[in-house]
Amino acid sequence: MSFILSILIFFPLVAAPAAYAVTKLNKRFGIYLSLGLAVAELAVATYVAWRVYATPPGIGSYLLVQSVPWISVGSFTVNYLVGVDGLSTPLLFVSALLTVFVVFGSRKLIDHHEAEYYSLIFLFEGAIMGVFASLDLILFYVFWEVVLIPMFFFIAVWGGPRRKYAALKFIIFTFAGSTVMLLGFLYFYLGMAHYVSPSFDIPTIQAALQAHEIPVSLEYAPLLASFIGFAVKLPLFPFHTWLPDAHVEAPAPISVLLAGVLLKMGGYGFLRISIGLFPTASADFAWVFVALALISMFYGAIAAVLQKDMKKLIAFTSINHMGFVLFGAFASLLIADPAVAYLGIEGAIFMMFAHALAVGCLFMLSGYIHHQAGTREIPSLKGLGTTMPRTAVVLVLASAAAMGLPPFASFLAEFMVIVAGISASAVTIVSVLVPIITAGYFLWMIKRTVLSKPEGTVEVHDMAWSDVAMFAAYLAPLVVLLVASYLILGPALPVAEFLRGLA
Amino acid sequence: MLTASIVILGAGALLLPLLQVVKRGQQQLAGYILAAILAVSFLLIGLFTMSPTAVPWADGLLSPDQLGGVFALVMLGVTLAVTVASFDFIKTSSNPVYYSLLGFTALGMVLLAYSDDLLMLFVAWELMSLPTYALAGFDKKARSNEAAVKYAIIGAMSSAILLYAISLTYGLTGSTQIPMIVSYFAIPAHQTALAGVAVLLFIAGFGFKMSIVPFHMWIPDAYEGAPSTVSTLLASATKKAGFVAAIRVLLVLATVYALTKSPIFSLANVFAALALVTMTVGNISALTQKSMTRLLAYSSIAQAGYILIGFVPFAANPTSAAAALGMTGAILHVINHAILKGAAFLAAGLVFLQLKRTDLGAYNGLARRMPITAITLTLSFLGLAGVPPLNGFWSKLLLFLSVANGPFWWLAVAGIVNSAFSLGYYGWVIKRMYADDPDSPGRVHEPFWFVVVFAVLVGLIIGIGLFPQQAISFASGAANSIIHG
């Protein structure tokens, strides 16, 4: 029994009212306090990450588990059950890290209703921690839905001109997706009751799966239902239409959370729930998932080429990159040789971590550029290289990280996923084209904005050195991870072995 | 203790109008007295529910069980909230009469919750209904009068239908006591077509109060025309009376009785069809409304459909585990809906009181003008949509779980689709309150007693949401009192 994960989940929920009250009284001090609270939360997350790295949980087991009875009526029981492994820990850590950056970056970009804003950031953070730490399906669903509420308000209150439309579209799409997911959970739970004593408890269900106590025929319907919930979040083509709207309208720091954290819920769900609970059905349909992932990757990449708004371009990159996560996860189910198969799942986990930082950095940067230059339209941004040299350097580096160029770890993640894909089937070699297109539109964007001649008389200001430090902090972990990839891949290996072994 | 609470409720309701003669000018006094009476009755019935004792004069008339306790507490709680909110709302000269009528309605609802005899049930039904006809027209404005007349006519019709059903039942069985009637119908030879007619008449009669489709037409007009506090009472309390009556009469009958020999027209199928139509019609109609009260009225109809889902597994097989789960979910949703809809109607009432508008445009930018009202409305809407971790989530979860695996699985699908759909119009209003610009800026006063009621209701919405076990056990106890006699 350990309380550390509960601290991780509930500390931000307690921090939220504190941030609200203090910011209401004194804006400046409130923002510093919020930053302090976010750093404290990061310290807890770092401790959790260190624990998981130092003693990675074995195959199919979880660390720092805490279980408290919550609800019981008849045979229907729900427990507050939390625990972590090599899949959830990188996401918990990166969520805490991005929250620090978001609070730091928001001080310049958010200029009204600050008290509400910072308290909602913490509400969001607590709920996200809950999503990644939950090991009970109902608890997972509760946190999953709580995430929507602050995000709705972020877009609706602090968003751009079409914020109202985007916020409603966001909440209706994602709520519809997740209710279908819940229905799948209920179906699975009740179906299970004919064979074993039913449970929402993920480790218990997995034990029953390994003992072949739950018939495979029960897995298909909930796989489809949860697929819809996760595909909306990921987002997978054609469930993605809410994403460009939400990203364009959301303020830049919120886009960081949206792309860096919220989309990961989809990838996490596919690994933890789809493959983790419905492994045989997932393996049977792995081809469908791989094909959908490929379509999504190409769609995201090609759509990104056509975008004029820098933020929309980055939004479509996310669709492209999250496609890689799905691609790697399900390709590994198709590979006979386990050692290669693990690459797919490990690559997917690595990809989620790397994408969170690289795209988070780009979104924050687009907010800065918009703030300083007054526009995000790529054709109107000219000569950033001369007018805003520091911004230009960060833009080039962040684009390199997103493209998957060394020395950034995103390179390794993409490489692992593509190797796994090709091992699954030579047909998927077409996936190699995706990083090429990605590199193409990023380089074209850089050519048009950074390398062009400055024009116009608009007065622009470069970013402060403190902001340069923040952007460096986004990208530094990616460089470190290229060298020390075992920090993530070490604990991720038992997860890959376990998930692959279930199928 | 039950006796004591009935006596003080009755005495209070009878004596309150005297205040008008004795003490002119002290208008709020009647409200304070009624609030005190309701609070004491609430406590007494709460104690009684926890440790039931024999009620000497209730032999055969009342069934002092936990089911009655849950409903009596919900109804008294809502009436108390309405009374407290009325301190700021009703400023007309005939105050004591208003509070006296509220008191009579409360008394009728408490008696109805415990009724175990059809005559007792009918008397309580009328005691509850008659004051509300007057309350609906209390504003004495044209619209309010129209609502009152419409409501009274429909109400009288439903009473007539109910009375006809009761007389048919008495003619067939020779008894008005529900247990006797049930044991009579347990004999297959007694299950005639005429009995089927009586059951359908009961469904229609109760259906008007429960606001299920197709007996729902009067709801939006009545809720919109009546003073907002009265609409709160109608939506959150008297509507629940329909449900407790349906549980006591129809569901108990379902343990022994199949509506027809044909499996298609079983009682379970009738309830399932009514649930499906009610929630779908309610939600789709709510989406197109331009007035807040009408939106809430249709949402209230939709919620009645969700509650009906819980009746289905019980009607199909009263001894199954799903039946227990479904009844628990239905009773929990009755409690939750009373809290959520009470909060929503009172918030809408306050907006009407301060801005004199009920159209949705009045809600633009409300978060800046009336922040406490806006947050109350937001939480109650999210709860009604079934967003966790608010209280409405748990009751909907139990309701859907009770039918998710079995012949009625499509009800769970329909329920979940409906919930997702309903977030469309709830989210639309939340968007208006937080993202749109108000017509005129500036803070609007939020009266003290309203804020107190909002705080209590929001506390319950979040509290039951985070720690639902107590409420679930309470509802489950009430469900068991029906299932195990």
Interchain CB distance below 8 Å, B400 and A183: yes
Residue reference for tokens 């199909």: B316
Q: How confident is the model at residue B53 (pLDDT cuts 50, 70, 90)?
A: confident
The residues of A whose Cβ lies within 8 A of any Cβ of B are 70-76, 138, 141-142, 145-146, 148-149, 152-153, 156-157, 159, 163-164, 167-168, 171-172, 175-176, 179-180, 182-183, 186-187, 189-191, 193
Is residue B82 a contact partner of residue B102, using CB atoms and an 8 Å limit? yes
∠ CA A371-A375-A381, nearest 5°, is: 115
Task: Tell me what percent of the residues of chain A surpass a pLDDT of 90.
Answer: 31
Query: CA nearest A169 in B: which residue?
Result: B424
pLDDT attached to residue A131: 94
Does pLDDT of B214 surpass 90? no
How many cross-chain Cβ pairs, A to B, lie less than 8 Å apart? 93
Interchain CB distance below 8 Å, B420 and A71: no
Q: How confident is the model at residue B259 (pLDDT cuts 50, 70, 90)?
A: low
* Contacts with A190 from chain B: Cβ below 8 Å: 401, 404-405
Does pLDDT of B28 surpass 80? no
pLDDT attached to residue B91: 65
What is the enclosing helix (H) or strand (E) of A77?
A: strand A76-84
Interchain CB distance below 8 Å, A190 and B401: yes
What's the residue count for chain B? 485
- In a mutational test of the B interface, the residue from A158, A186, A197, A228 whose CB has the highest number of chain B CBs within 10 Å is A186
The 10s digit of each residue's pLDDT in B269-294 is 888 998 999 999 999 999 888 888 88
Does pLDDT of B108 surpass 90? yes
- The beta-carbon neighbor of A183 closest among B412, B430, B472 is B412
Count Cβ atoms within 10 A of the Cβ of residue A291 and give its class: 0-12 exposed, 13-18 middle, 19 or more buried: middle
The 10s digit of each residue's pLDDT in B366-375 is 888 888 999 9
Does pLDDT of B26 surpass 70? no
Query: CA nearest A142 in B: which residue?
Result: B388
Q: Which whole number is the average pLDDT over B59-80?
A: 87
A258 token code pair: 């949206």
Query: CA nearest B422 in A: which residue?
Result: A172
The 10s digit of each residue's pLDDT in B412-450 is 889 988 988 888 889 889 988 888 888 887 888 888 888
* Contacts with A167 from chain B: Cβ below 8 Å: 431, 435
Q: How far is A233 from chain B (nearest CA, A)?
A: 16
Interchain CB distance below 8 Å, A171 and B423: yes
A128 token code pair: 């996200």
pLDDT attached to residue A27: 85
The three-state secondary structure class of A1 is coil
* Contacts with A176 from chain B: Cβ below 8 Å: 420
Of the candidate ranges A455-459, B26-30, B155-159, B220-224, the one whose mean pLDDT is the lowest: A455-459
Q: How far is B400 from chain A (nearest CA, A)?
A: 8
Residue-averaged pLDDT of chain B = 86
Q: How far is A143 from chain B (nearest CA, A)?
A: 8
Quick check: B184 contacting A, CB < 8 Å?
no
Domain ranges of chain B: 264-485
Quick check: B434 contacting A, CB < 8 Å?
yes
Quick check: B127 contacting A, CB < 8 Å?
no
Quick check: B476 contacting A, CB < 8 Å?
yes
Instruction: Report the 10 Å Cβ neighbour count for B160.
Output: 12
B149 token code pair: 């007349």
What's the residue count for chain A? 503
3-class secondary structure per residue, chain B: CHHHHHHHHHHHHHHCCHHHHHCCCCHHHHHHHHHHHHHHHHHHHHHHHHCCCCCHHHCCCECCCHHHHHHHHHHHHHHHHHHHHHHHHCCCCCHHHHHHHHHHHHHHHHHHHHECEHHHHHHHHHHHHHHHHHHHCCCCCHHHHHHHHHHHHHHHHHHHHHHHHHHHHHHHHCCCEHHHHHHHHCCHHHCCHHHHHHHHHHHHHHHHHHCCCCCCCHHHHHHHHCCHHHHHHHHHHHHHHHHHHHHHHHHHHHCCCCCCCCHHHCHHHHHHHHHHHHHHHHHHHHHCCCEHHHHHHHHHHHHHHHHHHHHHHHHHCCCCHHHHHHHHHHHHHHHHHHHHHHHHHHHHHHHHHHHCCCEHHHHCCHHHHCHHHHHHHHHHHHHHHCCCCCHHHHHHHHHHHHHHCCCCHHHHHHHHHHHHHHHHHHHHHHHHHHHCCCCCCCCCCCCHHHHHHHHHHHHHHHHHHHCCHHHHHHHHHHHHHHHCC
Q: How confident is the model at residue B93 (pLDDT cuts 50, 70, 90)?
A: low
Interchain CB distance below 8 Å, B324 and A180: no
Interchain CB distance below 8 Å, B473 and A74: no
pLDDT attached to residue B330: 92
pLDDT attached to residue A1: 58
- The beta-carbon neighbor of A146 closest among B388, B409, B436 is B388
Domain ranges of chain A: 285-503
Task: Tell me what percent of the residues of chain B surpass a pLDDT of 70.
Answer: 95
* Contacts with A138 from chain B: Cβ below 8 Å: 397
* Contacts with A172 from chain B: Cβ below 8 Å: 420, 423-424, 427
Q: How far is A476 from chain B (nearest CA, A)?
A: 37
Interchain CB distance below 8 Å, B416 and A71: no
pLDDT attached to residue A458: 60
Contacts of A294 (CB under 8 A, 6+ apart): A323, A327, A428, A430, A431
- The beta-carbon neighbor of B321 closest among A71, A74, A156 is A74
Sign of CA dihedral A478, A484, A485, A487: negative
Pick out chain A residues at pLDDT < 50.
Answer: none
* Contacts with B385 from chain A: Cβ below 8 Å: 175
Interchain CB distance below 8 Å, B401 and A75: no
Q: How far is B344 from chain A (nearest CA, A)?
A: 18
pLDDT attached to residue B485: 59
